[in-house]
C-alpha cells in the first residue's frame, strides 16, 4: 500500500465524483468517524472561524427597504 494521500491530492479526486457518488462518500466518511471522535482527534483551530468582518454584517444587508 502506498503513502496516504494529502488533502491537496484528495480534493481534485473528490471534485471529479458525480453528485450521487459524492453524497455516498460523505455518508461513508461520516459513518466511519462520529462527530465527537473527529473533533477530539482534530479540534477546529482559531483560523477556521476567524474573520475580519463583523459577524452580523452579512445579515444586515438588503433590509433597508423592508418594513
pLDDT reported for residue 2: 83
Share of the chain above pLDDT 90, in %: 13
Cα-to-chain-centroid distance, residue 17: 17
29, 30, 36, 41: CA torsion to nearest 10:
10
Name residues whose C-beta falls within 8 Å of residue 25's C-beta, 6 or more positions apart in sequence.
Answer: 14, 17
Which has the higher per-residue pLDDT, 14 or 66? 14
Q: Where are the alpha helices (DSSP H) in the chain?
A: 7-15, 19-32, 35-41, 46-49, 57-60
Answer whether residue 23 shows pLDDT above 80: yes
Amino acid at each position: 500500500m502506498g503513502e496516504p494521500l494529502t488533502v491537496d491530492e484528495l480534493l481534485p479526486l473528490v471534485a471529479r465524483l458525480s453528485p450521487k457518488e459524492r453524497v455516498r462518500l460523505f455518508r461513508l466518511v461520516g459513518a466511519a468517524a462520529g462527530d465527537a471522535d473527529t473533533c477530539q482527534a482534530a479540534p477546529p483551530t482559531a483560523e477556521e472561524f476567524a474573520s475580519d468582518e463583523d459577524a452580523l454584517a452579512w445579515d444586515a444587508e438588503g433590509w433597508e427597504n423592508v418594513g
